[in-house]
Structure formats: C-alpha cells, structure tokens
Chains A and B, each alone.
Chain A
Amino acid sequence: MNELLVMLTIDDRRVALPAVEVKSVIELEEIYPVPRAPNFVVGLTAMRSQSLTVIDSRLAIGVADENKVCDRAAVVEVEGHQYALLVDSVEDIAETKSELAPVAGGFGAGWQHVAKGMVETDQGPALMLDIEKLIEGPAAQAA
C-alpha cells in the first residue's frame, strides 16, 4: 500500500518522513536557547501552549557546523516529547512507490546514522529519516 510522505530538504538533500509522524509544519517565531545543551538543540519554542525542543537537523546529522537561519520546522513526537525539526524547506506530500531499501555503499557519513533506507516516491528517490536517531544527535553515533 502506498504511504504518504512529507518531503523535506535538509542541507539541499531530499529526505522523507512518514506523514503520520508529522504532527504539523510550523514557522518558528521565537526560539529560547538552552544554555549548555548540545549544539544541535537550538532551544525551546512554544506551540499551542506546549513547549517544543527545537532540533537543527543539519547539526544533528552532522553535515554542518553552524546554525543556518531557517524557520521551517516539522513537529514530531517521540516518547511523549515534542520536537520541532528545523529543515531547509518543506516541499510537498508525496506517495511511496517502493519499499524501504538499503543502498549499496551506504548514504555517507552522518546520513547513514539517521537513515532508515531509501524509498522511491512519485517525486524521485528520497532518504527516509529515522526520527529517533536524528534527535539523539551526532554524539550518539560513535556509541
């Protein structure tokens, strides 16, 4: 059966998240920093009187060194905590056209850790993100 996906771009690469996991896509207004948190935790923000932990996807994957100003975020929930995943842009909704599949040689440093696999969509191939892995950040990769 075809599954709906939210297509995102992170560091100019196309990635996908299952639409059922994305609670909403928001434009972040104000982010309140969390001192001494790992750098991929940008801070906290409020959405509908809930507080969200804002994660910079590029930093969490480890494909960038510093925070780039972007304000689009996908809101997901993991183990009762809500996260806003900062991405370059949110493209569209797409349908899966294949099962998840690995790619020979992997997806490259950083990406391999957060990838569930590759999926074919009606907009071309995309990397399926593993949200749990993403919010652990790059530090957890070594472990």
Chain B
Amino acid sequence: MDDLLAEFVAETREMLEAIEGELVAWEADPSDSARLDSIFRFVHTVKGNCGFFDFPRLEKLSHAAESVLAEVRAGRRQPNSRLVTTVLVVIDRIAEMANAIEAGEELPDDSDDLLISALEGRQEDFDELAALQAADSSSKSADQTVTSRRSIRLPVELLDRVMSGVSDMVLARNDLSRRLRDAGNEPTLDGPFERLSGILADVREAITRMRMQRIELLYNALPRLVRDLSAELGKQVMVDFEGGTVELDREMIEMIRDPITHLIRNAIDHGIETPSERLAQGKREIGMLSIASRQSGNQITMVITDDGAGLDEAKIAAKALASGLVTKSQLDAMSAEEVINLIFEPGLSTADEVSAISGRGVGMDVVRSNIEQIGGRISVTSEPGKGAQFFLELPLTLSIISALTVGIDGQYFAIPNSYVEEIAHGASASVEFSEVGDRDLVTFRGQRIPCLTLNNVLNLSGRRAGPDQRLILLRLGGGDIFALAVDRIHDQEDLVIKPLSPAVMATQLYAGTTLLDDGRPVLMLDIPAIAAGHGLVSDIRTRSASVSRDPAETAVDAGRTLMTFVDLDGRRRAIGMDLVSRIDQVEPAAFDIEGARAQVVVDGKIVELAGKPRGELPDSKVKLLRLSDSEAELAYPVAELGETIDYSGSMAPAESDSTVEGVALIDGMPVPVVDGYQLFAAHGHSAAPEVQLLCKLPAGDEWVNRMLTPLVKAVGYRITEDEGADADVVILTSDTPENLTQEQDNVIKILNDPAAAGKASGIYRYDRSAIVEALNAARKRSAS
C-alpha cells in the first residue's frame, strides 16, 4: 500500500481511538458542545483527507455528517437520541471503510444513502437503519480481522527521551575528547575512544532519522491536491515549493498535514481568482501559490503565499460583528491586521456559499487549534488585490541543526544555515557600501540590500558596516533579504540546540544555545526576530529594489572569483570559486589513502581526492573542498579556509609547476592558484559513460569470472559470453600467443605468461593498467 494511504488510515484510526470516549460522553449528554466540536472536527478532517484520495463514498458520508453536526452547532437542530445514534453509525462506518482501505478490499457494500437520509432526519430511514444495525451487530465483531503490521508506533515522548539522552552523550563525548586531548597522547585510550565516537555518531544519526523526516514528504502530496482543486474550481494555479530538505519531526509532519491542506484549499478556493478575473485586474492568469519552509534554532517557519485577491477586511469585520464575536467598539479599536486575524476564531466564515472544498469557515479555527496544540503559532497578513500570506511558526524542541559560527569582538554566535543565502567578503569588488540616513545598505549583484552589523544588533562596540567585515546574506521565510556584517566567519558545524533560560530569551535575539566541540557555549541568533526588530520584514513579499547594472561595469568586471585556503602543507593557495561546489567537514577516518589511490567517504559516497594530500591529515575534523567540473567530483582536503575574493589582476605564469595555473597577487602576497583543469584531467573519473559498450569474454573461465569481469565492468563495459554476439571488444585468453590467431582491431589478447606477453602482441593478465588502457583505446576507436 502506498505510504500516504497508510498514513491516512493510521491517522483516521488514531483519531477514532481518541474520540471513542468523546462519543460515549456525547451520547450521554448531546448538549455538550465541547464533545460535539471534537466529533465535528473529526468528520471534518476525514472529509478533508478524502479530498486528496479518491474515496467518494467516504467523502459523501463525512460531508453529510459534517453538515448535520454544523446545523447542531449553529443551534438550528436539536440533538436527539436518534441523531446521536445515526452519527455513531456513521462513525462506525468510517472505521469500517478505513479498515477496508487498509486491507485493500472493496469498501463494504452497504447503503450509504440510507444512512445519509437518516442523518437528514427521515424517520422511516432511521427505523430501517436500526433494524439493519441490529441484524448486523452480531456478525460484525467476528470479521474484524487484525492485520499484522511490520512497524510499531512508539510514543513520541519515549523517542524524545532517547534523543535527548543521545544528545547529552554527544556533549559528554566532546567533553571527554577535550580532556583526552589535554592529557596528551594516550594510545591505550585513543582506540576505544575513537570506537565509542564512531558508534555514538551512528546511533545519533539513527535516532535523528527515526524522528525526522524531510518536509518534502508533506510537499509531495500537494501538487496533486492543487491540480485537482484548481481543475474543479476552473482556476489555474501554479505551486512552488522551497525548503523541502528542512527536516521536521515525523509527528510534526503528521500534525501539520491537515492545517496545511486546509490553508491551500482556502487559498485556491477563496484567494486565487478565476483566470478571467485575474486578467481583468492585469495579473497573470495563472495564480501563484508558494510554500516555503525554513529552520531556525528551535523553530520552523512556514510561509504560504498566494497572489490572489487577499482577505476582505470589511467582510471579515462585518461577519465578526454579525456572529457576535466582537463588539463594534472592540472592532474599532483593532488594527487591520488584527481584524484579518479574526478568521482564526471559531465560527467565522466569509464564504457566501458553502462549498464542498473549503466548507464553512470551520477550517481556520481547526487550523489554529491544530497548530497551537503542537505549540506553534499562525498569523496572516494580506494586501487587497495582491494576495495573502500565512505564517506558521512551529517549534522544534530538540534538534540538531547545521549552523555557521561567526565571531565579533572575540565572541562566537551561530546562525542557522537555512537562512544563509550567500557569504561575501566586505572588500570584494562586487560589494559596495552606502549609507542612507542611519541605515547601512550594501549593493550586491545589482541589489540594494539593507545591512545590519552584528555589533550594533548586540550593542557591542557599535560601528558601521565596512569592507573589513564579512557579509552574510540572509533570506527570511517570507523572501526578505538582508545582510549581516560580522568580523569573521569561524566555521560551519552541526549543533545540538538547547533551549535558553527565560531571562535570556527575553532579549528576543537568541533562539537557543549549544556547546561547541571545545566546550564553549555559543548562542544561536534568532534571525527572524532580529529582522523583525529592525523592521526588515515586509508584510507582503516585496523584492529588494533592483539596481540596473551599468553595462560598462560588467565589461570591466572580467575578473574571476578565487577562494583562498591554507593547504595541508601550510602553504596558502587559491582555487577558482566556480569549481568549488560545496565545503564539508569529515572525520580523518573517512580518508582512505593507499599507494596511488586517495579517496574519501563523504555523504555516504566515495569521492576521489584531488591527488594525494600535500601534508599530513590533521587529527581532528578535516575541512574538505568539494570540486566539481559539472560531471566528475573531486575532494580537496585543506587545513584552513580562507576567503573568497574577486581577482581581476594578472596572474604570473608558473611553468615549472604543472599543478599551478599561475600565481596571483593577493594582499601583496603571492598565492599559487591550483589548476582545476589539471586536477580533473589527472584525477577526475567522469561518471559512467552513457553508452555502454559490449565486451565479449571467453565463456567458462574461472579466472575471467573472478578477475577480469569486474575489471572490464569497472571500465564501463557490458559483458557477454555469447559466442555469436556482435561485441565492440573481444577479449581472448590463452597460455601461449600461438593459440590466439585472430587478428582484428577489436581483439585484446590476454596471456598467462609474462614472458610471452612481452614478445607477442598480447597483454600479461596481471598487467592491469595495460588492460585498462587497451579497453579505453577500444572505446575511443568505437566513439570516433
């Protein structure tokens, strides 16, 4: 069964279990509105979920139940015992259907229409139903089969406990590691300690994976939902996702699936206009819906933006008054934003007609109660005619996040990587500082971006942003960009974030704290709060003012971007920035260097090193430049990262050293620039060739099977032993050259005797490089 379907069934079943007690309580006291609300939410959620699977019967049934319960909620119908019984039967039916869906059976063939009309209050249908129920109940308990499951469901608290235990273990390990380092070389301890570290890293990864899932899992179901909904409503909607790699608690994903689905339904149903309306307003006829997720410290921010009509403030206000939610004087005192946020109050709907898609405005209060239940927050901003934007802030009580550590004034701070768009050196030619009033602006890639200095934000020796600093370009959930100037960028690492004490949280600058490997506590900056505190968050996404680029400037700016680093031999070198695809850190154990072969394991795959390292690998984590020529990938271990610079000066040739492209003059010092072309020519194995050639091997030869076949495959050939096959290359083996008489271009002769191989036109069978060379030569011939 499909994963989503399994989750749907599991969720429905869990909800059923949860409302079991409510049902009984409601039956005892049908006027209990709190019970009624939770039962109502259940059928509403089931109906919502049916929207993206194709279960018309289930949908019809839950819609009918929802309508009746809505009437009761609105006080238009009195709950009597008959109605209660019918609702209970409907809920039983939903459970049966869920079981049938899980078992992959046809839905039980009962008369749903009877149920539905009984719900609508027809006495004779009800009587018939009661009779059916009585006949049915004896047989039903028997055929409820328990299907065995391959997975178990665990309480999240248990996982939480294990996870926080493991996090503490990691911190304790770091502490121990520091003490071991201080104590000097202790070979008897180092071995077991390394092992412990390795195991701990594995366990930590497994635990993390246990709880975390990429938010993609949620995204995956949405395009279909959007497609179906927009088709149904005669609208055209394009959906755009961002931040799919943000990892969320598994449970959290389950918890937000519903609210997100509701928000999207609402956006399409009420927000985005029909194509003709859009054209009339001068908009593109295709509506845009975008969903962006970002992680920061203990929070995930999701922003759902549509470019539709926006929320109608007057209408919301009128509805709120009419339903008695607020009084006139309260309303007058409210800001526009407060008014539109009333849509999250129970019982408020602006939809004039009840539609099957977003219903009767219960969606929003369900959305808010679901979000608040998991400790999150939701708010909305809107601009009439331009669109609406929903902000969801979701907590992440305990998480390991990847962060950039930066320094100012000798203190360290961490910035979640998810916000970091780009890093630039203040002295770089592509960065230009300007001051407007008290606000610093930087111009970067043709955009004027507001710039904060961390010194000012934190009140540490205030200053203006300047070329001696590093700039970190940060992008917020809503798409706003600003730059943060810091003195230096220290490192990038995975940090276990712990919550801060309330006194520190009250500063609204920090999202959490963590200990670095050296035991130093570091504060994680709360980027959205800092941005909001400086007025850098716009209500509706507005692009930064674009500065048209002077064409002449572009022509002059023909320099290239170099990245400097300190090599393992202690020398400062540089490499073209365009080659560096990313920067990683790996344990020294990940390296495997033997003879001429030098490889490293990173991200679960083996990557070739760009030649043997020039010096000893350090004992601690090794920084790794990952180079890519767009096909092949190489890794280059370095001792320290330098900076990126735009270099437009000339380069002195270095003819004696083929590994160097030239020597650049950086800050008055000569810096050799590593020749990327040469690196890839020498070490880059490009990915497996697209066309695999066919190589015919002698059949039934044990040595061929064991030794030759893997080698030939590794060079990129397919293997055949079929005599009649039309192969691109034929390999023959023999003890003596005389046995091999075939003389053709595409024949490679392999001899068992090294002496004979020297004389005749054959290759000795353990002369690996000659065999590979011959196979590659054959490939070149067939390619030309």
A53 interface contact, C-beta 8 A: yes
A46, A53, A83, A136: which contacts B519 (Cβ < 8 A)?
A: A46
Q: Give B557 Cβ to nearest chain A Cβ, in Å.
A: 38
**Are B503 and A135 in contact (CB-based, < 8 A)?**
yes
Q: How many residues of B contact A (CB 8 A)?
A: 28
For residue A32, give the distance in angstroms from its CB to the closest CB of chain B. Answer: 5
Tell me, rounded to whole Å, the shortest Cβ–Cβ distance linking A131 to chain B.
12
Q: Which of B171, B500, B502, B513 contacts A49 (CB 8 A)?
A: B171
Q: Please give the distance in Å from A139's CB to the nearest CB on chain B.
A: 9
What residue in chain A is nearest B168 (Cβ atoms)? A49
A51 sits at the interface (CB 8 A): yes
Pairwise interchain contact B501-A53, C-beta atoms closer than 8 A: yes
Residue among B500, B501, B507, B515 making CB contact with A36, cutoff 8 Å: B507
8 Å CB contact of B175 from A45, A48, A53, A135: A48
- B507 & A44 in contact (Cβ 8 Å cutoff): no
Q: Does A103 contact B (CB under 8 A)?
A: no
> Residue B521 at the A interface, CB < 8 A?
yes
Is A41 interfacial (CB-CB < 8 Å)?
A: yes
Interface positions of A from 27 to 56, Cβ below 8 Å from B: 30, 32-38, 40-41, 44-46, 48-51, 53, 55
> A41 — which chain B residues lie within 8 A by C-beta?
501, 503-504
Is the contact region of chain B dominated by helix, strand, or loop, or is it mixed? mixed
Among A35, A78, A136, A137, contact of B460 (Cβ-Cβ < 8 Å): A35
Cα distance, A12 to B411, chains bound together (Å): 33
Q: Are B520 and A83 in contact (CB under 8 A)?
A: no
- On whether A48 and B521 interact (CB within 8 A), knowing A36-B509, A83-B501, A137-B503, the answer reads no
Given the complex of chains A and B, what is the CA–CA distance between A36 and B525 in angstroms? 12
Q: Is the CB of A37 within 8 A of B503?
A: yes
CB distance from A48 to the nearest CB of B (A): 7
Pair A49/B515 contact, Cβ less than 8 Å? yes
Is A81 among interface residues, defined by CB-CB distance under 8 A?
yes
Q: Would you call A53 and B500 a contact (CB within 8 A)?
A: yes
Asked if B174 and A34 make an inter-chain contact with CB atoms under 8 angstroms apart, the answer reads no
Q: Given the complex of chains A and B, what is the CA–CA distance between A50 and B509 in angstroms?
A: 21
With A37-B507, A81-B499 known to touch, is A49 a contact of B172 (CB < 8 Å)?
A: yes
Q: Does B510 contact A (CB under 8 A)?
A: yes
Chain A contacts for B507, CB-based, 8 A:
34, 36-38
The docked-state distance in angstroms from the alpha carbon of A94 to that of B458 is: 43
List, in ascending order, chain B residues with CB within 8 A of A53's CB.
500-501, 503-504
B165 to nearest A CB, angstroms?
13
Which residues of B, 298-329, contact A by the 8 Å Cβ criterion? Answer: none
A38-B506 contact in complex given A32-B521, A46-B521, A49-B519, C-beta closer than 8 Å: yes
Residues in A whose Cβ lies below 8 Å from that of B35: none
Cβ contact within 8 Å between A35 and B458: yes
CB contacts (< 8 Å) of B411 on chain A: these are 32-33, 35
Q: Closest chain B residue to A140 by CB distance? A: B503
- B498 on the A face (CB < 8 A): yes
Nearest neighbor of A48 in chain B, beta-carbon distance: B175
Question: A79 CA to B503 CA in the complex, in Å?
Answer: 12
Residue B523 is within 8 A (CB to CB) of chain A in the complex: yes
Distance of A49 Cα from B172 Cα, bound (Å) = 6
Q: CA–CA, A67 to B458, complex, Å?
A: 20
Quick check: is B459 within 8 A (CB to CB) of the other chain? yes
A136 to chain B: which residues have CB within 8 Å? 503
Q: Do A37 and B520 have beta carbons less than 8 Å apart?
A: no
Instruction: Tell whether, in the assembled complex, residue B503 and residue A51 are in contact, meaning their CB atoms are under 8 Å apart.
Output: no
| Nearest A residue to B514, CB-CB | A51
- The residue in chain B whose Cβ has the minimal distance to the Cβ of A135 is B503
**In the complex, what's the smallest C-beta–C-beta distance from A84 to chain B, in angstroms?**
11
Q: Are B501 and A49 in contact (CB under 8 A)?
A: no
Q: For residue B459, which residues in chain A have a CB less than 8 angstroms away from its CB?
A: 35-36
Residue of A nearest to B513 (CB): A51
Assess whether A44 is in contact with B175, with CB atoms less than 8 Å apart.
Answer: no
State the CA gap A41–B521 with chains docked (Å). 15
- A81 B501 Cβ-Cβ under 8 A: yes
The minimal Cβ–Cβ distance linking A107 to chain B, given in whole angstroms, is: 22
Given A49-B515, A51-B498, A81-B501, A34 contacting B523 (CB threshold 8 A): yes
Contact check: which of B501, B520, B522 meets A135 at CB < 8 Å? Answer: B501
Which residues of the partner chain B approach A33 to less than 8 Å between Cβ atoms? Answer: 411
State whether B174 touches A45 (Cβ < 8 A).
Answer: no
A79 partner residues in chain B, CB cutoff 8 A:
502
Give residues of chain B (494-538) contacting chain A, Cβ–Cβ below 8 Å: 498-504, 506-507, 509-510, 513-515, 519-523
Alpha-carbon separation in the docked complex, A79 to B172 (Å): 22
The complex places the Cα of A50 from the Cα of B507 at a distance, in Å, of: 21
| Minimum Cβ distance to chain A for residue B141 (Å) | 46
* Complex: chain B residue closest to A38, CB-CB: B503
* A44 in contact with B521 (CB, 8 Å): yes
Contact check, A44 vs B523: say whether CB atoms are below 8 A apart.
Answer: yes
Cβ B523 vs Cβ A46 within 8 A:
no
Taking a contact as CB atoms closer than 8 A, the residue among A36, A46, A48, A50 that contacts B520 in the complex is A46
Q: How far is B521's CA from A38's CA once the two chains are assembled, in angstroms? A: 18
Give chain A residues whose Cβ lies under 8 Å from the Cβ of B509.
35-36
Pick the contact of A51: B174, B502, B515 (CB < 8 A). Answer: B515
**Do the beta carbons of A49 and B174 come within 8 Å of each other?**
yes
Given A51-B498, A53-B501, the answer on whether A36 and B175 have CB atoms closer than 8 Å is no
Listed residue (A46, A51, A81, A136) with the most chain B CB atoms within 10 angstroms of its CB: A51
- Smallest Cβ-Cβ distance to A32: which chain B residue: B521
Within B656-678, which residues are at the interface with A (CB < 8 Å)? none
- Apart from the given pairs A35-B458, A44-B513, 14 other A-B contacts in the complex at a CB distance below 8 Å: A35-B411, A36-B458, A36-B507, A38-B503, A38-B507, A45-B521, A46-B519, A50-B515, A53-B504, A78-B501, A80-B499, A81-B500, A135-B502, A137-B503
- Of the A-B pairs whose beta carbons lie under 8 Å apart in the complex, a sample of 21, sorted by A's number, is A33-B411, A34-B523, A35-B460, A36-B459, A36-B507, A37-B504, A37-B507, A38-B506, A41-B504, A44-B513, A46-B515, A46-B519, A48-B172, A49-B171, A49-B174, A51-B513, A53-B500, A78-B501, A81-B501, A135-B501, A136-B503
Q: 4 tightest A-B contacts by CB? A: A35-B458, A49-B171, A44-B521, A81-B501
